[in-house]
Amino acid sequence: RLPKLYLCEFCLKYMKSKTILLRHLKKCGWFHPPANEIYRKDDLSVFEVDGNVSKIYCQNLCLLAKLFLDHKTLYYDVEPFLFYVLTKNDKKGCHLVGYFSKEKLCQQKYNVSCIMILPQYQRQGFGRFLIDFSKFITSNPVEKQRWCY
């Protein structure tokens, strides 16, 4: 067990020391999630990340969520899921606020499999925003194509 875990806020790789993190940050080169930005308004963006395409990123996102969600069980089998990552943007990059995931092919037509907002962003309406966003893209697939991209 480590007393602290260090995390690159952009690629979500985790490290055991601040020294390793600082070395990583010099070469990382990521400033947003590894996906297409499908929504932007003011300083908020949503990126659609395919668990099959960006497997390590999505696994690390799920492991991060596990730190805040006791019931979180999925963190390695990410391929059947799409992850919608909400970021708050500034000149340094797109900073993770939270995400929701949904199965690509879901028989029950659920629009959210998991949702997580980082603690520092809770109670600011971001969870409601992600729920509304999930309903929109689930119920309006044609409109999603025009509105999101």
| DSSP designation for 77 | -
Provide CB contacts within 8 A for 97, sequence distance 6+.
44, 86, 87, 88, 117, 118, 121, 126
- The domain 31-148: what is its CATH number? 3.40.630.30
Pairing of strands 14-15, 6-7: antiparallel
The first and second tokens of residue 55, run together, are 């497997």
- Say what the pTM is: 0.90
Question: Where along the chain do its domains lie?
Answer: 1-30, 31-148
Distance CA 47, CA 68 (A): 21
> Tens-of-pLDDT digits for all 149 residues of the chain?
888 999 999 999 999 999 999 999 999 999 999 999 999 999 999 999 999 999 999 999 999 999 999 887 666 899 999 999 999 999 999 999 999 999 998 777 778 999 999 999 999 999 999 999 999 988 766 555 555 55
